[in-house]
Structure 1
Amino acid sequence: MGKCYNSVVIEAPCEKVWETICNFHDLAWAAGVVTEVEAEGDLKGDQVGAKRIINDAFHETLLTLDDQARTFSYSIDDGPEPLAKDSVSNYVGSVRLLPITESNTTFIEWQSTYESPDDNAIAEFCNPIYEALLSALKQHFS
């Protein structure tokens, strides 16, 4: 099983960061990384089962959302190689926010697990994307 893991400290209170990222259909904070988010179906961005297409390439489904724990998880159902549905299975990404009480800032981790014949190719593809997303989020609050 392959894994990706990325984390960063955001210079903003956990509540504000969560308010910014908890809507599965709103990635406005990721300008420059995400150019388009298309909501699919009738479910809202805070409803488990919500579907989206990012940058006309990544098809994702919201699997869990917990406002109290400030975490959500999603599956990547299809995407460009090496994330095409025939190349990877059981791809689950998760995002978790934790308050850093000493400084009233936020620790955020973005991780994923997946099954693929070439786990390294997926990690090499996904880690830079997660790094860019976390960098964009950090920039959003600076």
Structure 2
Amino acid sequence: MPQTYQSITVNAPIERVWGQLSNFHDMSWAPHVVERCDAVGDKTGTEPGAQRVLNEAFHETLLEVDPVGHQLRYSIDDGPSPVSSADVRNYIGTIHLVADTINNTTLVEWASSWESANDEAESFCHGIYVALLKELAQQ
């Protein structure tokens, strides 16, 4: 099963970082990577089942929000190749935050896994997530 893992330490307390990431419909913290985030359906951005379309290409669904554990899980339901529904199945992404209370910083871990006959999605997704995490750290 292909997978990716990226992490970064953000120079901000966990509450601030969680405030930026916990609303699935708000990607304003990454304007150089996500130019457009359209909510789909009636669910709010903090409600499991919320759906969005990023950059008019990536169709995603929020699966779980855990404000106590500072974690969210989502699926990519369709998108451009190599993450299209024809290329991958069962794509699950997880964002998890860990507080460093001594330094008042936050470790952000972003992992994903999926089923695929090839490994093209691995480098594709890794590059996107690295760019997203860099944007987050600059906020």
Q: Give the alignment's TM-score, normalised by structure 2.
A: 0.99
Shift of 1:20: 1.0
Paired residue for 1:52? Answer: 52
Paired residue for 2:135? Answer: 136
Partner AA of 2:44 in structure 1: K
Runs of 4+ in 1 over 2 A off after TM superposition: none
Deviations 1:21-57 (A, max 9, x none): 1000000000111000000000000000000000000
Backbone CA RMSD of aligned residues: 0.5
State the identity as a percent.
46
Partner AA of 2:58 in structure 1: F
Q: SS at the partner of 1:28?
A: coil
Paired residue for 2:30? Answer: 30
Please list every run of 5 or more consecutive structure 2 residues that lacks an aligned counterpart in the other structure: none
Please list every run of 5 or more consecutive structure 1 residues that lacks an aligned counterpart in the other structure: none
Task: Measure, in 2, the Cα distance between the counterparts of 1:109 and 1:79.
Answer: 23
- For this pair of structures, how many residues does the alignment match? 139
Shift of 1:101: 1.6
Shift of 1:86: 1.0
Paired residue for 2:64? Answer: 64
Paired residue for 1:11? Answer: 11
Alignment of 1:89-104 (within 5 A): 89-104=89-104
